[in-house]
Amino acid sequence: LRVCSIVCCSDLICLFYHLTDCPLILTPAEVVVRFGDPVSVDCSIASTTDFLGMGWEAAFGGTGFEQKSSLTWTVEKVEEWNIYPQCYMTRKNGEQCSVTPDVTVYKTPDTVTLSGVDDGPMVERSAYMLDCNIANVAPLQNLTVIWYRDNEKLSTETFNGDTVTPVSVSSSLRVTADRHHNGALFRCEAVLHLGPELNLTTTSKPYTAVVQCEFIIYLFIIHDSGNYLLRATNKHGTATHTVYLDVLCKFYCLKLQKYFCMLLC
């Protein structure tokens, strides 16, 4: 088998093959078609007069045997996931040979959604699982899921198998909340790799992380009474607030699972 040339179309990945033992040329030899769209492949006999005819055998779009040197297999609307059309020729001595185009039928996801975090903010240092749910995509083995935090790529997951019909799958990302993640946008992308010139991407709506930071108050004594300035800063700006702290006794807070405070007088 020898590849002679490559041609790329709008929605098709086209390769032209020349078979030394069978003078049939498929144009294109590899086809990527969306479910429900039309598809066609030309088959021609090259550089030989020693033939009676040719034909296409297929569940849909077959032509039967004809005394021609070129025939086209055509389906107006692809509604099957397994398609194996075969172009054949018959020589004058009765011998036959055939070639089969590689037809990939694809479907982009109905939805790509991000879930897994309950209502409410994340707590710093706590672990969370984010789920990317991809509904009804095919073929599975051509799918890649990519996770992002803002514009930073976090992880990539691929899927194995030979399933050609649509399936629903999910990908998970473990996140340990950090104060620097507050306001970050998490998203996932479902990418169908259908050829060197055809990658189809469906992106989830982003999840905006809200992270509660730990704040530990240590030991206060009477001499610590006075005005205190609280300053909070994030990407939206800075806010300040002044409070007066009147320490009458020693005041100590210990953080375990929750905050426990003690007065030592």
pLDDT digits (tens, 9 = 90+) for 20-78: 478 999 999 999 999 999 999 999 998 767 889 999 999 988 999 999 999 999 999 99
Q: Domains of the chain: which residue ranges? A: 24-104, 111-212
pLDDT at 7 over 60: no
Go through 115-137 and write b for each residue having 16 or more CB atoms within 10 A of its CB, e for each that does not: ebbeeeebebeeebebebbbeeb
pLDDT score of 1: 34
pLDDT of 189 strictly over 80 = yes
For residue 263, is pLDDT > 80?
no
What CATH topology corresponds to 24-104?
Immunoglobulin-like (2.60.40)
- Quick one: tokens of 73? 């297999």
Q: What is the pLDDT of residues 96-127, one digit of tens each?
A: 999 999 999 999 999 999 987 766 788 888 88
Asked if 153 and 127 touch (Cβ cutoff 8 Å), the reply is: no
pLDDT digits (tens, 9 = 90+) for 134-147: 999 999 999 999 99
| Residue of 186, 79, 205 whose CA lies nearest to 122 | 186
Tell me, yes or no, if the pTM score tops 0.85: no
Please state, in angstroms and rounded to a whole number, the distance separating the CA atoms of residues 159 and 44. Answer: 37
Amino acid at 83: I
- Assign 24 to helix, strand or coil: strand
Does 111-212 match 24-104 at the fold level? yes
Closest Cα to residue 73, out of 117, 28, 105, 35? 28
Q: Of the candidates 86, 174, 190, 74, which has an alpha carbon nearest to the alpha carbon of residue 130?
A: 174
Per-residue model confidence (pLDDT) at position 12? 41
Report the pLDDT averaged over residues 241-264. Answer: 62
Mean pLDDT of all residues belonging to the chain: 83
Higher pLDDT, 250 or 169: 169
Q: Candidates 2.60.40.10, 3.40.50.300, 3.40.30.10, 3.90.1150.10; correct CATH number of 111-212?
A: 2.60.40.10
Q: Where are the alpha helices (DSSP H) in 61-190?
A: none
pLDDT at 251: 53
Asked if pLDDT for residue 244 goes beyond 90, the answer is: no
